[in-house]
Chains A and B, each alone.
Chain A
Amino acid sequence: MKIMLKQIYRKSWFSTVILGIVLVILSFLSLFVGVIDVTAEELFSGDAASIELFLISRLPRLLAILCTGTGMSVAGLIMQQLCMNKFVSPTTGATISAAKLGILIALVFMPKSTLWSRAIFSFAFALLGTWIFVWFIQRIRFKDTIMVPLIGIMFGNIIGGITSFIAYRYEMTQALSSWETGHFSLVLRGRYEIVYLVVPLLILAFIFANHFNIVGMGKDFSQNLGVNYKAVLFMGLTIAAAITASVVVVVGSISYIGLIIPNMIAMFKGDKIRGTLVDTALAGALFVLVCDVIARLVIAPYELPIALIIGIIGSVLFIGILFRRLKHGRKAIRLGAATEAPCAVAVEKAVPQGGDRA
């Protein structure tokens, strides 16, 4: 028994290291992909133009990519844990569309708004949108796991409709289009730093990871363990909304990261959030990085918005996950499937699941 545990421990530790190493290598390589050739030699030999380019464009871009990838995937993971449903995420939980609406409101009513005030608006709306969605799905008891993302997507569509209504009304469609499809091409020094907010939020998420797990088990379950259900639920959703808002305000909306990365990691490593959080973050960063390189290479010297590449790859992967769930039923995606009644209502059903995992 002890040996087995040890093996599992070693195995989970192993995947994290591999992901980390690959990420570092790819990050380094991606710094040298771009319109203007920059080589490592130039950089180290102190070529001023190269260093300038590096600091203004390349490095900020890489950092923004890493923050986006880790942030969005962890935001998705948190939301899935809290709602006890594998298909909830910033995309399927109306968070992203609400964040966009927030930006639009800031643009319309405060034309001179800074990036920071837009971020605050975006955050407030993202939080509100997510809250309404979660409140909504908690009210409806008899729901299929698949029904929750469907409702979320439709809810997002409605918010999107309101957004385009306001955008047309105030002739803001042109201004809004920059956020409509997320891209990294405008990430330059001085106008992307908000995305660093993701880092402290991630740390916070890591500290409270176990609390999220417990709250996901349901209200009664968490009260039994002395965890304040409402406070933790609120905090978790706040973190997810804040991450989403700080990413959306800088790069625009990017779907699917928070949906597919946690699901794919969970397939390999199970559902305990502590064990998968780091892997999810690393895999998210890796995914966005790879997509970014693709986006820059397809029509070089131009680049495609990353949201399109992620939209294509992400939707295919998501459909794959859905088919897999259909085929393997309960085994493939344990969390959502095992309870069937998501979002913190099915306490009795959720408890034995803990036993399965042990």
Chain B
Amino acid sequence: MKNEAYRANVRKLVILSILMVLAVVLYMVIDVNFANPKFFKFSMKIRTPKLLAMLVAAFAIGAASIVFQSIINNTIVTPCLLGMNSLYTLLHTAVYFFFGASSFLAVNANAAFIVDLMLMIVVATFIYGYLFKKTNYNVLYVLLIGTVLSSFFGSVQSTMIRVMDPNEYDALLLTLVAGFDNINGEIIGCCVLLLALLVFILRKDLALLDVITLGKDQAINLGVDYDRCIRRLLIGVTACIAVATAMVGPISFLGLIIANLGRQLMKTYRHSHLILGSSLIGMMTLVAGQCLVEHVFAYAIPVSVFITLGGGIYFLYLLLKKR
């Protein structure tokens, strides 16, 4: 007995997928010289990892944001706004800082990523667990402290890089922090595998998320092992943020935009739909945005600038609409 709204949502998802595929095709074929196989090969070689990175990052951010919002029952908070991505960048830098550029971690990107990931899960669980407990889930405090934390992580990371090599600051920054012009292609395989594994391990918890939406009391009333479920999901969220940040760098507002657009579009509590919808919107936005940046603005302005600009305004709108 699937009702009308359910079918409508499936329809919306199909349309979103078609749009996403269109954006992908556009991105792959625009300005490509098909006549010359050499050029063609070259374009594909450059564009394919970039495209994959964007798709993976969009999925990771979309899923992490939706899950996180549902856990703390508030739609204006996303993990990136609380500085989780800055934390990942900091930890990544710290690993280089303490183990040195000559260690095997500097050479093997996948090993480095796994180490970062483990560190990230431990540190983020500790810091954010403490933050939530201490503020008693007061959303405005969590947001403000999260924003400050994010700038704190940024300052510490910047300091570390400068301490490592004050002269080569800019060059070092580029090698350590990924960005849209500087995606980290080496670990795509590892990341895709990790995300698939996460979805598989957490599939039961993700199903419970629909019930957790009702709030802690109701979830327990309906027989959910609340604390365990939340713990597992939060670990999933941090891992997703780590994946996204490792691939395309810190983009703070993307999660906020796509998660809220997804919620507005789907109007449902079903998290399978919400996550899919948000991820598709994210993929579409990123790929189309990158397309625009590369071919209209000729690489002059990175897509993250647009996201920051749009996201900031959208955040203010959400914050003020609430009152």
Contact = CB atoms under 8 A, between A and B. Distances in A.
Contact of B141 (A155, A164, A255, A322): A322
Interface string A127-151: 0000000000000101110110111
Contacts of A146: 140-141, 144
Given A146-B140, A308-B158, A326-B134, A140 B147 contact: no
Contact of A149 (B138, B144, B151): B144
Contacts of B300: 168-169, 171
Interface in B301-323: 301-302, 305-306, 308-309, 312-313, 315-316, 319-320, 323
B30 to A, nearest CB: 21
A13 interface: no
A286 B1 CA distance: 71
Interface in B152-167: 152, 154-156, 158-159, 162-163, 166
A151 B302 CA distance: 25
Contact of A140 (B163, B306, B320): B320
Given A150-B319, A151-B319, A312 B144 contact: no
A142 to B, nearest CB: 5
Contact of A311 (B152, B302, B306, B308): B152
Contacts of B163: 298-299, 304
Interface string A215-256: 000000000000000000000000000000000000000010
B151 A150 contact: no
B140 A315 contact: no
B215 to A, nearest CB: 22
A179 to B, nearest CB: 15
Interface string A324-349: 00100000000000000000000000
A323 B162 contact: no
Contact of B149 (A153, A154, A165, A319): A319
Interface string A161-185: 1101100110100000000010000
Interface residues of B, number: 36
Contact of A168 (B135, B151, B159, B305): B305
A315 B166 contact: no
A165 B305 contact: yes
B148 interface: yes
A303 to B, nearest CB: 8
B141 A147 contact: no
Contacts of A158: 309, 312-313, 316
B21 interface: no
A316 interface: yes
* Residue of A142, A164, A302, A308 most packed against chain B (CB within 10 A): A308
A312 B159 contact: yes
A150 B144 contact: yes
Given A149-B144, A169-B300, A318-B148, A311 B154 contact: yes
B166 A299 contact: yes
Given A149-B144, A315-B149, A161 B312 contact: yes
Given A308-B155, A308-B158, A326-B134, A154 B316 contact: yes
Interface of A: 87, 140, 142-144, 146-147, 149-151, 153-155, 157-158, 160-162, 164-165, 168-169, 171, 181, 255, 298-299, 302, 304-305, 307-309, 311-312, 315-316, 318-319, 322-323, 326
14 contacts: A146-B144, A150-B143, A150-B144, A153-B147, A154-B319, A158-B313, A158-B316, A160-B308, A168-B305, A304-B159, A308-B159, A311-B155, A315-B151, A319-B152
Given A154-B316, A158-B313, A298-B159, 10 more contacts: A142-B323, A146-B144, A150-B144, A160-B308, A161-B308, A299-B162, A308-B162, A312-B156, A316-B152, A326-B134
